[in-house]
A and B are shown apart, each in its own frame.
With several copies, the nearest count.
Chain A
Amino acid sequence: MRYLPLTDPDRAAMLEKIGADSVDVLFADVPAEHYLDGPVAGLPLAASEMAVEKHMRRLSKKNLAAADAAFFCGAGAYRHHVPATVDHIIQRGEFLTAYTPYQPEIAQGTLQMLFEFQTQVARLYGCAVANASMYDGSTACWEAIVMAARLTKRRGVLISGGLHPHYVSVAQTMARFTDEAIAYQLPTLEADPGDDALIARISDDTSCVVVQYPDIMGRIPDLQRIADAAHEKGALLIVANTEPVALGALEAPGNLGADIVVGEGQAIGVGLQFGGPYLGLFAITNPKHVRQMPGRLCGETVDADGKRGFVLTLSTREQHIRREKATSNICTNSGLCALAFSVHMTLLGEKGLTALAAENHRLACLAADRLDKVPGVRVLNDTFFNEFTLVLDKEARPLVRKLAEHGVLAGVALGRLFPHGEGLDDGLLVTVTETVTEDDIETLAKSLEEALS
């Protein structure tokens, strides 16, 4: 087997040193009746690299790659151009094949990168401190809810209808097993994101209000108003962002009253990958809350020679020290995705991120104007960044499936996201990033026209 360096003479010499007759003897603690004599039956045997590659390529070709379609899907996972440099860097063996930086003397590469990453995220979100990443946006959102409960000692969780339904679903699942009481209503097919209704429901039991910005239909809620209302009742505002590129054009949540900002970082550097691995971002505006934060943190310090260096720090919050009293059970984070994000963000910088956001918005406006002209199609949104909701005059799901047969991935039907949502079936969430061409927009418009006529 090409990955196993021991030769048979090696094995013999080592067994002799150990004083065992065979490798099987080393497994003597396994009860004989449960020890397998040979390979698990019914499974294939070893295959050459060439054979495996062929097999996997065949499987991959059964998927329609976004590059081969006119592509308008978003809803929490965004297709942006990732510079080739990003993939080159994350494939450096020293980054790719390192472990969590437990030994800082020989892990400054990862540690300095994490310190830079934390700073980038904190600035993007308008926050004081960000952690070294979480699994993804949906789990980061739940961790934020739990953190809010710890901080406020309240259990009422008010979730906006604009939050990504998967994020809602994760929270509802987890709350089944904990004490949180979740209040959530499905969104409605209106241009208004429903800030008033949300604010009206904040109570003295509310630990936190969770708002997505921009929301699942692309609408932009008024964070400052919600924050003020929440704070008045002693509740925290958690803002979830699924499209970090939007923050190149929109004011940062941390600057608009958010207490905890979480999000999905995938859009920058990571790529689609059928939904994972992604990159949970987590930041707070009040640095005093840092000891209640989940996840790994990297901090600056000095070494014995006085040189600047970085270490994982405040680990007393974490499970490997605190065990059942930990702030979270998270252990592995999303280090390599954080690297990808950080490299891409470094290439962009202030100027590039702003320009990228502007280009997304320009194309999205263009698309909205064009699609609004299609008979049977209406653009729902008053406000949006790079995704918006179309209201069709028929159900969107079958239409999306039909268009896919012709190489048009038209977007995400709200009926897929909200299978039990009344009145949402005709909604189609369309996302337009810089990877979309004007030809693609025309193709989508024509396809919709045809399908709806």
Chain B
Amino acid sequence: LEERLIFELGTRETCGVDLPEPKADAPNRLGKFARQQLIDLPGLSEPETVRHYTRLSRQNYAIDLGLFPLGSCTMKHNPRLNEKVARMPGFADVHPLQPVDTIKGALGVIDELSHWLIELTGMSAVAMSPKAGAHGELCGILCIRAALEARGDARKVVLVPESAHGTNPATAAFAGYEVEDIPADKDGRVDLEALKARLGPDVAGVMITNPNTCGLFERDMKAISDAVHAAGGLVYCDGANFNAIMGRVRPGDLGVDAMHINLHKTFSTPHGGGGPGSGPVVLSEALAPYAPLPFIVKDGETGEIHLVEEENVGDEFPGSFGRMTAFHGQMGMFTRALTYILSHGADGLRQASGDAVLNANYILRSLDDVLDAPFGEAGHCMHEALFSDNGFADGMSTLDVAKGLIDEGFHPMTMYFPLVVHGAMLVEPTETESKATLDQFVMAMRSLAERAKAGDETLKTAPHHAPRARLDEAQAARKPVLAWQGSVEG
């Protein structure tokens, strides 16, 4: 399972495409800027290229190979229909700046997907262009800031629960806010009283994840929203966990003003080893006027869809806070997500959230006798089950259990997050896993829990059956080698 680097395999003369040989006497309008230096890139023939990447791919674990229970990351089945649709020439081979009359189908996709997202969340509008979840958070926070500024209210603070995704405080800070933590109550939920106590004229709003990162539904969401609104603030909801509640409760009904939706989590667009994502943001009536460019407007009478850009945003939509990205957003993800949504329909989406929550509770109750489940007594969980390292033998850690899972043929769960639980293990099975798979996972986890409690030293060096043993991350960070340093064969 060793595969050399392309720089070690290729040469500067090898090439996997056939192109005309450049002519020395060809016309040249590059002025004095023609390249003088070697780029020093390796080329491979096509067969070598296929083989290199095919071999590399086999060193990866993936949802196509087995359960991928990363809590909060929502690794569900990625339907191949989505991939097929995204590759239809009418979607894949269209330029973002073609005249509007030649892209009616693209605008139709955006319109249909927008409609679904708005209806599913009970909101008023949706900003489609954010490129991923964190970008969506930024969009939502900027909407809030734009709305506050529009009313001349320069609030400075955003409240974030300590269990929040790291992106939440980073986003608020990037948007120029001071971030303050709100504590959790003993059940792992936002402490409503502490929150209320902190509200005031300096608080722009709150960022709350619901269901939260402990896998629990924030029962007091409506009360939180009401309190924030009463104090003149606005409510951002991190929608990373929308998978658990779609079709069962609408964030808009709970007073949320803005929420991003990770199309690559809830709506099955592939994660691709770390992106691309897509993070449309649904907006309440209060925030809708501030959505970023570009957006579409559908004529209620004719059904015609208009594209609003810098040119025509003008007097009609003066509040838009501007552009967050070039072009229209992650169109390739829109087609996939819409395909997924249409496949499920309103009934299928509801079934999906039900199965996701059922699967998580099944895992919670199949393991809570051998693993500590910090909020297990608080009732049912949502789409993910949270455990801690409480009870492990000295020296045994969550990391060891995670690496042990690799040897059992599973991807590890999310480790050490949320921070509110010691040695957290957050397990999200999603709705696309069968009971048989869950049973196998439970069996593996039970055995690992016993070994961790018994202090089985072989766990400390797991994995033993993976393409690599544990990697030295400290060395990587101490003396970073971030690019290959040699020279490619000529």
Contacts and interface: CB of A to CB of B under 8 A. Distances in A.
Touch test A–B (CB under 8 Å): yes
B194 interface: no
15 contacts: A39-B345, A40-B346, A63-B98, A77-B327, A99-B274, A123-B40, A177-B142, A249-B30, A250-B33, A275-B96, A276-B331, A329-B138, A348-B41, A349-B15, A364-B29
Given A44-B342, A332-B264, A361 B30 contact: yes
B170 interface: yes
A339 B105 contact: no
Contacts of A416: 97, 311
Contacts of A106: 59-61, 406, 411, 463, 466-467
A124 B41 contact: yes
Interface stretch (A199-207, A228-236, A297-305, A441-449): A297-305
The listed residue with most B CB atoms (<10 A of its CB), out of A97, A116, A129, A353, is: A97
B418 to A, nearest CB: 11
Given A47-B18, A84-B80, A352-B19, A383 B365 contact: no
A64 B217 CA distance: 45
Contacts of A126: 37
Contact of A18 (B85, B275, B365): B365
A4 B53 contact: no
A84 B84 contact: yes
A96 B469 contact: no
A254 B307 CA distance: 38
B488 interface: yes
Contacts of B2: 307-308
Interface in A68-99: 68, 71, 73, 75-77, 79, 83-85, 87-99
A404 B59 contact: no
Contact of B50 (A65, A66, A85, A321): A85
A63 B102 contact: yes
Contacts of B326: 76, 136-138, 164, 166-167, 170, 264, 275, 278
Nearest to B320: A173
Given A13-B435, A313-B476, A355-B19, A122 B483 contact: yes
Interface stretch (B64-72, B296-304, B390-398): B64-72
Given A29-B216, A220-B31, A173 B41 contact: no
A299 B477 contact: yes
B402 A103 contact: yes
Interface string A127-169: 0111011011111000000000000000000000000111101
B97 A77 contact: yes
B276 A332 contact: yes
B347 interface: yes
Interface string B122-152: 0000000001111101100010010000000
B156 interface: no
Contacts of B475: 301-302
A130 B483 contact: yes
A326 to B, nearest CB: 4
Contacts of A14: 358-359, 361-362, 435
B467 to A, nearest CB: 5
Given A23-B354, A104-B473, A278-B326, 9 more contacts: A4-B351, A94-B58, A94-B62, A169-B322, A273-B331, A278-B327, A305-B468, A324-B170, A358-B23
A354 B105 contact: no
Contacts of A94: 57-58, 60-62, 64-65
Interface string A41-69: 11111111100110111011111111110
B300 to A, nearest CB: 15
B75 A99 contact: yes
Contacts of B165: 320
A34 B135 CA distance: 29
Contacts of B329: 275-276
Contacts, number: 785
Interface residues of B, number: 215
Contacts of A56: 85, 88, 335, 338-339, 342
A272 interface: yes
Contacts of A349: 10-16, 41-44
B481 A299 contact: yes
The listed residue with most A CB atoms (<10 A of its CB), out of B58, B379, B483, is: B483
B318 interface: no
B443 interface: no
A100 B262 CA distance: 15
Contact of A343 (B15, B53, B309): B53
B19 A29 contact: no
A93 B62 contact: yes
A136 B325 contact: yes
B15 A324 contact: no
Interface in B84-111: 84-99, 101-106, 108-109
